Amino acid sequence: MKLELRGITKRFGALVANNNISLTVESGEIHALLGENGAGKSTLMNVLYGLYIAEEGEILLDDVVQKFAGPGDAMNAGIGMVHQHFMLVPVFTVAENVVLGHEQTTFGGRLDLSAARAKVREISDRFGFDIDPDALIEDLPVGVQQRVEIIKALSQDAKVLVFDEPTAVLTPQETDELMTIMRQLAASGTSIVFITHKLREVRAVADRITVIRLGTVVGEASPTATNAELASLMVGRAVELTVHKNAPELRGTALAVKNLSVIDSRNQIVVNNVSFDVQAGEVLAIAGVQGNGQTELTEALLGLQQHVTGSIELDGKPLRGYSVRHILDSGVGFVPEDRTEDGLIADFSIAENLMLDRSSGAPFVKAGNLQLGFRAKFAAEKIHEFDIRSQGSEMEAGRLSGGNQQKVVLARELSRDLRLFVAAQPTRGLDVGSIEFVHTRIIETRDSGIPVIVVSTELDEVVALADRIAVMYRGEIVGIVPGNTPRATLGLMMVGEHAPATEAAL
Amino acid sequence: MSTLTESAAPVPASAPIVKPTAQIRSWKIPITFGGIAVLSLLLFVVLGRGQRGDLSTFRLSEARDLIQLPEVALPTFATGVFVAIVLVLMAAASATLVYRHRKVPIVLTILFALLFLIGFLAWAASGSTIPVPGLLIGTVTLSAPLIFGALGGVLSERAGVVNVAIEAQLLAGAFSSAVVASATGNPYLGLLAAMVAGALVSMVLAAFALKYLVDQVIVGVVLNVLVIGLTSFLYSQVLAPSATLNSPDVFSRLNIPLLSEIPIIGPVLFRQTIIVYAMYVAVAVVYFGLFRTKWGLRVRAVGEHPQAADTVGINVNRTRFVAVTLGGVISGFGGAYFTLGAVGAFNKEMTNGMGFIALAAVIFGQWHPIKATLAALLFGFATNLQNVLGIIGSPVPSEFMLMLPYVVTIFAVAGFVGRSRAPAADGKPYIK
């Protein structure tokens, strides 16, 4: 089916998310929609899927103008979507999720789940998926959950399939398999819209590329374009894709973690007997697919997890079992992975956010009184130093862009006297400019002799920053390898295969 | 060094992630067991009653039963000593299990509770007789409004709307059923009025929660206060001056032939009023509706992940509105129990906190209609035990017994029988 978008404009108040966007996807074509985080790709697709109503413009399928009042209409017209955040109910089975909204019933309104199971089996056989229709979604790995999303779309006879940032949660191997599935679908006549900001993937699979920047189409490109060309089109200026750094100047072991295990509230061992150490002046990157224990590991380092065994020593002093306050005072700086949830208080001003973890005493608080003058001066300095684009230090942090919010978090943590710096997903959801900034600051921190731990699910980021890479899989460290380890090896380690000569790499 | 080739056999793509688990030592259960065991030792042995060989008698049949079961007489002191010793042993066993990082099986908890109950009843009934059928019949009867309220709560919360207003729905049902049944002389119309009243209350809750996005707990609390005030005002201004509007016919007990003659079970379950029979149906219908129908799948979907439901074309707010309203219908019906099923007249604030106990049953019952029903029965039993012990003249002060249902509720809600997980989107309005 041929899909055509003509002059789509979507506004949120004063913000123009999509400005007069036109796009054509031919039948059986894989059309990549490339753009930075916040460029308006997802908004455009939500308009296509009937979740948002556009102010202007029209959607045509096989040259017929469509009117979508809601996702139901779009689905009936043959549009399917694989959402970035999976639209699956975690406590339902695969079959229940697939039929939700299109249930068949037998006598008395009784749900006909056997028909649903048959449908799941039929589609998963067609693509060789091997999925148990009665498995609970929450028990499945994310890669499989994504296949359930695909089955869900295909079960409604989708002729146009939209993949919204589908590779964000996948291992490199799963990404390759997804590419194969996309080609398979396109070959059978399905039109595919592939939304991403990852250049490598676009060039691997797309037939045509449309680049969007700040809500506007800025050009088309062919898959033969180079990474640099695509990146500069996407960002609007020449982009430095590599992080410049010198060889690390190692100054001895600072952090030593031995036999660390974390048990979560569901009694699962989420971090399993992990040992590693970090030298002052190096970046240890912890790679791995989301949900393999990285979050719990960083939280354990900061004293945020309840059931932790093993030992954590910083400069020879034990940290495990102490309060978060004590650990912060010992010089641990922490950038949490969800900045809007854990990193900032959105309703507080930039200045207030900058002193969040220092409210216990001087210089911000004296005799129980906030030192407003000092705080304002401090905030002004940090805003300047970290290039936080704002309307002043009293602006609410929630109104900043993602990149500037992250700069506030970084400024707060890096302005303390640090002995260890832990950054979890430091560039998630940021624009390229902010990513460059954050990476530069992390390397500067390293070069000043502070041990740095970077947790990232983005292999590009891991490779760019790391002096050594620890790969986590199901709560264990599969191996610790040098920073220049090939991506293919890292990819295998991310699915639990031990790399050759792991520890010897030190 | 080619460890790559030695890797484990490939796992099928859809194999669920089975994470290794470890038991965190939780001393909650052993401590509770220990406390109760010590209490039993004190009560049954040190301060033991009937040390001169008194008997505690349990009567298992009512006089009019066709099949008469013999009475069971236990020696009070010996039973108490036996129970206390076994309880101490069980507490020790649970402590050992926890010490060895093992889980205390739920069966042990249930056995422990039953045994303590037997010991307690034997102690309290020293030298007198406990009518077991009467105790259980009253349990079912007293649980009826709790169960209706809990079912209403389950429906509403499964759809993602916190329902603190069960009390208001019960009270509105009680009031309007009394008035309508008195005015028309037809108690069935009273039942209908109770359902309408419950639905109206929950519609207010749904409208504020879903359309105006007001905090659902606050709306619920305000509704409770509003309905208490409104019914009390109308009672003193309209019902109290003229008795004609507040003298409904009360449903009498209907014996179901044959079934009602089964020993113990018959009198307990099948010699009840039409309201209790309707309760059996309601439990079955709510269970079937939620877990076996298309409608139920959608209700649960909007309560767990409204956005996912929206993206497959389900109208989230409409589904929620309907579920909350139906919940109100059921709760309101339960309110009719107070007037048409028991007292025979409306009184100020006659629901007396039952709506909150029903809410506790929802949570204790893990948002599941059957489990919530069992929880409500437990609370009903605690209430009725207090009545029965009062009648046979037990040494326990009645004020203390009055506390019992609430103590049970606090322990239950504090998570002593497994942690419960609320619907993921419970209490969260859906904004696109």
- Cα–Cα separations (whole angstroms), residue A269 to A91, A124, A380, A477: 21, 32, 44, 13
Is domain A253-505 classified as CATH 3.40.50.300?
Answer: yes
Domain shared by B243 and B214, yes or no: yes
| pLDDT above 80 for B405 | no
Kindly tell me if the per-residue pLDDT of B290 is higher than 90.
yes
Does any domain span residue B228? yes
Angstrom distance (rounded) from CA A218 to CA A35: 10
Q: Extract the tokens encoding B188.
A: 């069935």
Residue B68, pLDDT above cutoff 90: no
Are A100 and B12 within 8 A, CB to CB? no
Cα separation, A106 vs B286, in Å, equals 18
Going across the sheet that includes A79-82, the strands are A79-82, A160-164, A191-196, A30-35, A208-213, A216-221
In a domain, B421, yes or no: no
DSSP letter (8 states) at residue A465: H
Task: Describe the crossing of helices B398-413 and B369-392 by its angle, rounded to 10 degrees.
Answer: 160
In this structure, the answer to whether residues B403 and B354 fall within a common structural domain is: yes
Band the pLDDT of A170: cuts 50, 70, 90.
Answer: confident
Has residue B105 got a pLDDT over 50? yes
A496 touches chain B (CB under 8 A): yes
Whether B23 is in a domain gets the answer no
Name the residue facing A111 among B8, B297, B315 (closest C-beta). Answer: B297
Section A473-484 average pLDDT: 92
* Residue B65 forms part of a structural domain: yes
pLDDT reported for residue B338: 93
Q: Identify whether residues B64 and B163 lie together within a single domain.
A: no
Could you tell me the residue ranges of all domains in chain A? Answer: 3-235, 253-505
Clarify whether residues B196 and B331 are in a common domain. Answer: yes
Q: Which residues pair with A111 in a beta bridge?
A: A105
Q: Last residue of some domain: B127, B145, B163?
A: B127
Does residue B109 sit in the same domain as residue B142?
no
Given B78, B101, B127, the domain boundary residue is B127
* C-alpha–C-alpha distance, residues B373 and B280, integer Å: 10
CB-nearest partner of A87 from B307, B424, B432: B307
Buried b (16+ CB within 10 A) or exposed e, B12-46: ebbeeeebeebeeeeeebbebbbebbeebbebbee
Query: What is the pLDDT, as a whole number, of residue A21?
Result: 92
- Tell me which of B76, B102, B127 is where a domain ends: B127
A207/A202 Cα distance (integer angstroms): 9
> Residues of A numbered 208-247 whose beta carbons fall under 8 angstroms of chain B's beta carbons: which are they?
none
SS3 A70: coil
- Which residue blocks in B159-243 are alpha helix, DSSP H? 166-184, 187-206, 216-234
Q: Provide the mean pLDDT of chain A.
A: 89
Let me know if residue B84 belongs to a domain: yes
Of A89, A138, A305, A476, which to mutate for an interface test with B (greatest number of B Cβ within 10 Å)? A89
Q: Do domains A3-235 and A253-505 have the same CATH topology?
A: yes
Residues 6+ apart with CB under 8 A from A461: A285, A426, A427, A435, A439, A454
3-state secondary structure of A129: coil
B362 shares its domain with B384? yes
Q: What is the value of pTM for the model shown?
A: 0.84
Specify the number of domains making up chain B: 2
Distances (CA, A) of B193 to A189, B18, B189, B199: 59, 52, 6, 10
* CATH for the stretch A3-235: 3.40.50.300
Q: Is residue B147 domain-shared with residue B213, that is, in the same domain?
A: yes
B4, A492 in Cβ contact below 8 A? yes
Answer yes or no: do B19 and A270 touch at CB < 8 A: yes
A176 touches chain B (CB under 8 A): no
Which pLDDT band, with edges at 50, 70 and 90, does A505 fall under?
Answer: very low
Task: Look at B14 and B122; give whichever has higher pLDDT.
Answer: B122
To test the contact with chain A by mutation, choose from B23, B101, B305 the residue with the greatest count of A C-beta atoms within 10 A, namely B305
Q: What is the CATH number of the domain that holds B370?
A: 1.10.3470
- For B207-233, write each residue's pLDDT tens digit: 999 999 999 999 999 999 999 999 999
Q: What are phi and psi of B231, to 5 degrees?
A: -70, -35
Q: Can you give the residue range of the structural domain that contains B66?
A: 28-127
On whether both B202 and B289 belong to a single domain, the answer is: yes
Position with higher pLDDT, A235 vs B166: B166
Which residues have a Cβ under 8 Å from the Cβ of B60 and sit 6 or more positions away? B69, B70, B71, B72, B132, B133, B263, B264
DSSP state of A503: G
Query: For position A255, what pLDDT does the model report?
Result: 95
Rounded Cα–Cα distance for residues B18 and B12 (Å): 13
Same domain, B77 and B172: no
Token code pair at residue B372: 């919530």
pLDDT in tens, A451-462: 999 999 888 899
- Chain B residues within an 8 Å CB radius of A268: 19-22
B394 and B367: one domain? yes
Predicted confidence (pLDDT) at residue A312 exceeds the cutoff of 90: yes
The SS3 assignment for B50 reads coil
Considering only alpha carbons, which residue of chain A is nearest residue B11?
Answer: A495
Residues B72 and B107 in one domain: yes
Please write the tens of the pLDDT for every residue from A186-199: 998 899 999 988 88
| Residues in a beta bridge with A213 | A216
The encoded tokens of residue B335 equal 């309110």
> Do B91 and B72 share a domain, yes or no?
yes
* CB < 8 Å to A471, chain B: none
Q: Which residue has the tokens 């007001």?
A: B214
CA angle A41, A45, A48 (to 5 degrees): 145
- Count of H-run helices and E-run strands, chain B: 15, 5
